[in-house]
Amino acid sequence: MLSNIIPNATLLTRKEAAQYLGVSASTLANWASTKTFVLPYFRVGKAVRYRKSDLDEFIQNSKVT
C-alpha cells in the first residue's frame, strides 16, 4: 500500500479530502487540473490520494490574518 512507502501518512481519497476541506471533490479536481492552488497529491493509476498532513498545511497556509 502507498502508506508503506510514505511513512506516517494518512492518505485520503479525493472525496474524503474534499469533505475534510469543506469543498466538493470536483473543486479539488479543478484545482489540480488548473493548478489554482498548490495542493500535493499522489496518483496511483486512476486513484488520487491526498496526504492529511498536506491538507493541514494547506489550511494553515490559507489562514488570513
For the chain, first and last CA: distance in Å?
Answer: 39
Cα distance between residue 32 and residue 63, in whole Å: 20
Contact 3, 12 (CB under 8 A): no
pLDDT at 4 (0 to 100) = 57
Decide: helix, strand or coil at residue 16.
helix
pLDDT at 34 (0 to 100) = 94
Per-residue pLDDT, 65: 77
* 2-61: CATH number: 3.90.105
- Tell me the whole-structure pTM to 2 decimals: 0.81
The answer, yes or no, to whether residue 5 has pLDDT greater than 70, is no
Beta strands 47-51 and 11-13: pairing type?
antiparallel
The pLDDT, as a whole number, for residue 25 is 96
